[in-house]
Every structure is written in C-alpha cells, then in structure tokens.
C-alpha cells in the first residue's frame, strides 16, 4: 500500500524547509523530498542578508511590505528555533550600509528618508564607524533592520524542528513525476510512490519542470551568482557594505562574504575566474584593504528568477490541491519565514492577506524586469 501524507513538499532548500516546519508545527503529517542534500543548493550559496529595504530599491511596494513582515518574523523564529532545534541561526546586528558615490545614487537612496528605519550618514561619519570604507564615497544610507543570518543554519534549524514536530524528510530522493488522481495526488520518487492531499512545489530554480508537468506555461530561469569569502584581518565590519549588487558581509567566524555576480540563464554552478575577478574588483572599490586578505573559498549558486523577479506563492489556478512556492530570486532567505506561513495558512484554511496572494499569484501578468 502507498504511504499517505496530508502534505508533500518537493525541495529541501530554505523555502521547502520553512514550509515543512510551519505545517508540521500546525499538526499536519508532512513529507519532504529532497533530490540531493538538504540546503546544499542555492540556499547554501546565499549571503543571508535580510535586505527588505536594500533589495527593494526604496520602493514601498508589496515586496517591501512582505519583506518587512518576514524580517520581523525572524525575531521570534530565532528564539523558537533555538529552543526547538538547539541551532543558533546567527542573526547579526548592524544592518546594511548602502553606499552612494554620486549625487544621483544619494537621491535614489534618499527615497527612503521618510522611513524611521533609514538614516542618511555623511562620508565623515561613515569613516568614523567604518574606517575600512573607500575615501571617495559621498555617504551611505544606514538600514539597521536589514540584518543578516546564516542561511544554512536557518535551513538546518527548520529541518531539525520540523522533524521534531513529526515531519519526514527524505534526502537523495528526487521526485520523478506527479500524477493528479481524483482521490489523491501521487508522487513518484526513486524510492517508490507516495500519496498526499496537498502538494507544494518548492524546488527552487528546478521548479520549472513541474510547472510544465502540471499544465502551466510558467517558467523559471537561473541568475547565477558567484561569491568569494576572505579572512578579515582588520577590525570586524560593523555593518554590511552594499553597492550596486556588490556586498561585503561580516560573519561571526571572522570571514567576509563577498558577492556577487548576476549572470542570467547560466546553469553551471562552478564559479569562474572572470566572475570572481569582477566581484573582487567591485568589492575593492568599496573597501580597498580587501585585496590583501587571504582567500577562504569561492562558490556559485543559481537564483530562481521569474520574469518580474517576484516569487510564485499560491495555489495552482485549476487544481487547489497543488501549491507553488518558488522563484524567490535574490530574497529567498529574507522571504522564507513569510512563505512558510502563507503556505501553511492556505493549507489549514487560515486567512492570508488578499493583496499578497494577488501580487504573487501564478498566472499574474508579469511585467518583464529590465
Ligand atoms: P534551493 O535552495 O535551490 O532549494 C531547492 C531544492 O530543491 C534543492 O535542494 C534541490 O536539490 C531540490 N530539488 C530540485 N529538484 C528536485 C526534485 N525533482 N525532487 C526533489 N528535490 C528537488 N537571498 C536572501 O534573502 N539574502 C541574501 O543575502 C541572498 N544572497 C544570495 C547570494 C547568492 C550568490 C545567491 C545565488 C542567492 C542569494 N539569495 C539571497 C537568494 C536565495 O539564496 C534563494 O532565493 C533561496 O535560496 C531559494 O531557496 P529555495 O529553497 O527556493 O531553493
Ligand atoms: N541578495 C543577494 C544576492 O542575491 O546576491
């Protein structure tokens, strides 16, 4: 007899794991299938910034509201997950300093000036707290709430806590096919077929093949990001430095994570010399001393992108038993807690903000991001 679950989840990155945690905690019988190892794909490549302000370019749109809501969920989660899993998700203090070199960049940043979470700091004051910063900056916007976490630690903590609440996690178990039978959904994997009442596709950039299989024409494409980490030999950075998709993040271990390139439609996950060179070039314009620091390692990951660069979070338009949580692009770490809550609430029948569901629905008209 096939084993039956309330909910099956495809994909054990931070998004799938957050969903497994929230549903198992709500009392659902959950199984999660992971093709390789939990959290070892795009999730492990991330810097871990919770960049609701920094990534949103100062616009107070739905992305910003959802990002801020998810940022605040992390406050309670770090305590709960510590208690439930014993894992510290390593939330930093300090936030992001978004640098301006030109008057135009300053104006763009100062769109956030009316927010109590934003503070413009002139170049002299920046240099006082961040002596490592380049001489020629005009100043920086300080966003203290855009803290960072350790992505793999968050994923592992969700995993351990989900299992504690009864979820089953099957690693090295790719889902091969989903069959929509009348009485239940059948999930064919390499270790057999399972059935479930509800299914969530959360397999990152690899979710695209399930769209096709489940009768949808949507697609996801990768935006490859290459990073390098170095051992910081100077004073620790008080704030993450951020400018034009380049960032330098201080880790507790003493490492600096330096990222990242943006290469659309590249599926190869090995970093290239040219990519790392570009990252070092940009980072050293922000912090010249970084060039002298010993390299720890280089890596790359595939951001799952939709055409408008916002995720799909919601139900299949024609089959209510199937949900999607994919396409989190540059912000999957930030959005993992809220995505877990939205999918949980849809499945257990709790209300979810209509404007959020509308913004992230599958089948929306996606303006092409330029
Ligand atoms: P993944 O982590 O890729 O997980 C998907 C999982 O599905 C994988 O483990 C895969 O093995 C599995 N899978 C695939 N196919 C199948 C199948 N058929 N059956 C079973 N399992 C399957 N976000 C932030 O918020 N802050 C940051 O600072 C940040 N920095 C980043 C830096 C870089 C360089 C990159 C590349 C990304 C960054 N991101 C950041 C984005 C973030 O990493 C992603 O949005 C997030 O990891 C997506 O998570 P996911 O769970 O959807 O995908
Ligand atoms: N959010 C940082 C990145 O995707 O590189």
At 140-172, the pLDDT tens digits run: 999 999 999 999 999 999 999 999 999 999 999
Token pair of 86 as six digits: 């014993």
Both 51 and 30 in one domain: the answer is: yes
Confidence of residue 263 (pLDDT cuts 50, 70, 90): very high
Question: What's the start-to-end Cα distance of the chain, in Å?
Answer: 51
Q: Give the percent of the chain with pLDDT over 90.
A: 91
Q: Give residue 10 CA to ligand 1 midpoint distance, Å.
A: 12
The verdict on the CB of residue 9 being under 6 Å from ligand 1 is no
Which atom of ligand 1 is the closest one to the Cα of 223? 36
pLDDT for residue 178 is more than 60: yes
326-344 pLDDT, tens per residue? 999 999 999 999 999 999 9
Taking alpha carbons only, the member of 258, 337, 256 closest to residue 52 is: 337
Question: What pLDDT does residue 211 have?
Answer: 92
Domain boundary among 288, 305, 322: 305
Query: Rounded to the nearest 5 degrees, what angle is found at the Cα of 245, between the Cα atoms of 241 and 250?
Result: 30
Taking alpha carbons only, the member of 313, 327, 324 closest to residue 359 is: 313
Domain boundary among 305, 322, 337: 305
Q: What is the mean pLDDT of the chain?
A: 95
The verdict on the CB of residue 121 being under 6 Å from ligand 1 is no
Residue 353 lies in a domain: yes
Both 231 and 155 in one domain: the answer is: no
99-108 pLDDT, tens per residue? 999 999 999 9
What pTM was estimated for this model as a whole?
A: 0.97
The secondary structure of residue 148, as a DSSP letter, is B
Nearest CA to ligand 1 atom 42: 332
CA distance 310 to 362: 11
pLDDT for residue 368 is more than 70: no
Q: Give residue 353 CA to ligand 1 midpoint distance, Å.
A: 25
300-334 pLDDT, tens per residue? 999 999 999 999 999 999 999 999 999 999 999 99
Domain boundary among 283, 305, 327: 305
Q: Where are the alpha helices (DSSP H) in the chain?
A: 14-25, 42-45, 62-85, 103-109, 123-129, 151-164, 208-213, 273-286, 332-348, 354-360
Question: What pLDDT does residue 365 have?
Answer: 77
Distances (CA, A) of 222 to 107, 225, 285, 304, 312: 31, 9, 27, 5, 15
Both 202 and 285 in one domain: the answer is: no
Could you check whether the bond before residue 260 is cis, i.e. omega within 30 degrees of 0? yes
3 state DSSP class of 225: strand
* Residue 170 φ/ψ, nearest 5 degrees: -110, 105
Taking alpha carbons only, the member of 71, 130, 60 closest to residue 288 is: 130
343-354 pLDDT, tens per residue? 999 999 999 999
Both 8 and 122 in one domain: the answer is: no
Q: Give residue 321 CA to ligand 2 midpoint distance, Å.
A: 32
Token pair of 89 as six digits: 């998700």
Strands 30-33 and 3-10: parallel
Nearest CA to ligand 2 atom 1: 330
The domain total for the chain is 2
CA distance 151 to 369: 26
CA distance 361 to 358: 5
Which residue segment(s) compose the domain that 155 sits in? 4-87+150-218+308-359
Distances (CA, A) of 48 to 88, 89, 155, 314, 341: 14, 10, 11, 24, 19
Residue 361: CB atoms within 10 A of its CB come to 14
Residue 29: CB atoms within 10 A of its CB come to 17
* Residue 93 φ/ψ, nearest 5 degrees: -100, -175
Rg from Cα positions in the chain? 21
CA distance 340 to 16: 8
Distance of CA 8 to the CA centre of its chain: 21
pLDDT for residue 1 is more than 60: no
Confidence of residue 277 (pLDDT cuts 50, 70, 90): very high
Question: What pLDDT does residue 59 have?
Answer: 75
Question: What pLDDT does residue 370 have?
Answer: 53
Both 158 and 122 in one domain: the answer is: no
Both 76 and 104 in one domain: the answer is: no
């Amino acid at each position: 007899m096939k084993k039956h679950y309330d909910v099956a989840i495809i994909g054990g990155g931070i998004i799938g794991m957050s969903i497994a945690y929230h549903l198992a905690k709500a009392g659902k019988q959950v199984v999660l299938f992971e093709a390789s190892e939990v959290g070892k794909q795009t999730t492990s490549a991330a810097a871990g910034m919770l960049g609701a302000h920094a990534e949103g370019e100062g616009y107070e749109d739905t992305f910003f509201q959802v990002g801020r809501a998810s940022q605040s969920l992390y406050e309670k989660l770090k305590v709960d997950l510590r208690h439930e899993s014993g894992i510290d998700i390593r939330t930093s203090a300090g936030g992001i300093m978004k640098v301006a070199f030109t008057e135009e960049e300053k104006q763009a940043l100062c769109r956030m000036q009316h927010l109590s979470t934003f503070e413009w700091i002139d170049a002299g004051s920046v240099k006082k707290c961040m002596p490592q910063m380049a001489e020629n900056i005009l100043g920086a916007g300080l966003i203290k709430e855009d803290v960072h976490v350790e992505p793999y630690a968050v994923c592992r903590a969700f995993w351990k806590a989900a299992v504690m609440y009864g979820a089953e996690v099957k690693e090295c178990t790719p889902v091969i096919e989903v069959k929509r039978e009348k009485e239940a959904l059948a999930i064919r994997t390499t270790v057999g077929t399972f059935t479930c009442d509800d299914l969530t596709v959360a397999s990152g950039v690899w979710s695209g093949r399930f769209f096709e299989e489940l009768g949808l024409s949507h697609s996801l494409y990768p935006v490859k990001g290459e990073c390098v980490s170095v051992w910081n030999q100077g004073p620790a950075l008080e704030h993450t430095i951020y400018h034009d998709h380049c960032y330098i993040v201080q880790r507790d271990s003493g490492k600096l994570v330096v990222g990242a390139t943006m290469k659309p439609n590249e599926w190869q996950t090995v970093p290239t010399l040219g990519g790392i060179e570009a990252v070092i070039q940009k980072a050293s314009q922000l912090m010249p001393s970084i060039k002298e620091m010993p390299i720890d390692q280089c890596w790359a990951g595939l951001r799952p992108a939709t055409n408008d660069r916002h995720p799909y979070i919601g139900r299949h338009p024609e089959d209510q038993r199937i949900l999607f949580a994919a396409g989190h692009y540059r912000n999957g770490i930030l959005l993992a807690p809220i995505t877990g809550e939205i999918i949980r609430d849809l499945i257990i029948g709790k209300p979810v903000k209509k404007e959020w569901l509308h913004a992230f629905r599958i089948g929306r008209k996606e303006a092409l991001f330029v």
